Amino acid sequence: MYTLTPSQVESYHCDGFLLLRVGEHKLVDPVKLAKWTEEVKSWPRVKGKWMPYDEINIKGERQLMRTENFVDYHDDFKKLVCGEGLAGILGALAGEDMLLFKDKINYKQPRGNGFQAHLDAPAYDHIGRIEHITANFAIDPATIENGCLEVVPGSHKMNVPCIDGGRIDPAWEEAQEWLTVPLEAGDVLIFGSHLAHRSEKNDTDKARASLYATFHGKSDGLDLRQKYYVHRRANFPPDHGGCAQANYAAGNTFQDTLAQYHLSLSEKAVSLDLGLMVSEGVVAEDKSLLASMRRLGHLMDITQGELLAILDYYCDPALPLLSSDQAQILIGLETPAAVQAKGPLLTDTETFNKQNIVTNRIAALHGATSGEQATETVLGWFIAKIAEVLGLGLCISENWLTREFGVEIQVFLLLGNTPIQEIAKDVALRPTHRSDERAEKI
């Protein structure tokens, strides 16, 4: 069993991290580690067990981003993560026995997104304000090109300013010297929950998976892992694990109805329909998705602190039974006036008025004299459709496009980061919408 030297322990406490090469620690065979990962990655989506999460890549395609809470369902991973070899290393660094708190595999698919500069600790504070230690095993080689981890040595001793939960203030991030930490398959990087770290996107054509096993001191409690995943499953369920999951962050019809049902039985209940959670969760961890949702214009940022304040109020046992109208709370949605004040998207009345007199969209497209004119025409219709419902929800839907234009557009283009102009161009230049004369000009 591998034993740390006093100088390694000192280095960890000085820098906030410790790198152990696979030939040094010999905790795992890299070939077997990759095999186990493929097994987990191929698992079916089963409610109530392991927790897979998706992302939308730069092509607008949905792909598996990570799997959490899987160790209990895979014997070999459990022997590695909870075995004596790793336990001895972590115990030497922490000065006490450590227990598993959280486990995940980040797959970092080709062209997959990176992670903003952040601290881990604020994401765990709702369970307890304690220090955690994470062991990051490289399943595939981690390079600068595929987005290896970057750290600020010694930042665990600094007063790192954070905004939106654990995300680090960009001004502080810009002022630091970041150290890239390339890893070979099987290497393990150990770091504490107050170390500043980040990673860039995987700018290659190959996946780059990493195992993250996070631990807490035994003296902090024996059931913190259970508490963490009960909270996470309820508030940030996997992409197959919630009712009406397609829009759980902004409103969930099932939960709204469930709250009303409990009220009908004179039982206390409230439904909180939230806007854009920017402190924790899939959106907070995906820079391109966050930017895309902010561009919608009708969602306000909601931080973890604000959510906890709301929960403190509505979970107060002294709060009387709410009426039906009082029990569905809409939070983080801009008023129509505020949306209009942000720009011309919903106030282009000329375009909107033109939309009202168009009765046959396909005929109108046949009359366009160029691809550019057709694209502008479709873009105007998109804008008018958004204005029609004041930007609430995915109003440019598959059904609307099929009904009005006779075309099918992949749903991932609508849900992803694809600019609306590109979708309009795709619709406008479909062969069924092009006159012979215009087709020759495109």
Tens digit of pLDDT at every position of the chain (442 positions): 899 999 999 999 999 999 999 999 999 999 999 999 999 999 998 888 999 988 776 666 778 889 999 999 999 999 999 999 999 999 999 999 999 999 999 998 888 778 889 999 988 888 888 999 999 999 999 999 999 999 999 999 999 998 866 789 999 999 999 999 999 999 999 999 999 999 998 889 999 999 999 999 999 999 899 999 988 887 778 866 554 344 444 446 677 788 888 888 899 999 888 878 887 776 777 665 676 667 666 788 888 888 889 999 999 999 999 998 888 888 888 777 776 666 544 334 443 344 444 446 666 777 777 878 888 787 777 666 664 544 333 444 445 555 566 555 554 455 445 666 777 777 777 655 444 443 333 3
- Token digits for 357? 């007199």
The pLDDT score that the predictor gives to residue 10 is 98
Instruction: Give residue 164's pLDDT.
Output: 67
Q: Which two tokens stand for residue 391?
A: 């930007």
Exposure string of 272-294, with b = 16+ CB inside 10 Å and e = fewer, is bbbbbbbbbbbbbbbebbbebbe
Tell me the C-alpha distance between 34 and 37, whole Å: 5
Report CA 279 to chain centroid distance, whole Å: 10
Confidence at residue 232, expressed as pLDDT on a 0 to 100 scale: 84
The residues that bridge with 162 in the sheet, in sequence order, are 168
pTM exceeds 0.75: no
User: What CA dihedral angle connects 243, 246, 252 and 253, to 10 degrees?
Assistant: -80
Question: What CATH class has 6-235?
Answer: mainly beta
Residue pair 380/421 in contact by the 8 Å Cβ criterion: no
Mode of pairing for the β-strands spanning 276-277 and 301-302: parallel
At residue 120, the 3 state secondary structure works out as: coil
Residue intervals of the chain classified under CATH 2.60.120.620 are 6-235
Contacts of 43 (CB under 8 A, 6+ apart): 50, 52, 67, 70, 73
pLDDT in the model for residue 418: 60
Q: What are the φ and ψ backbone dihedral angles of 49, each rounded to 5 degrees?
A: -120, -125
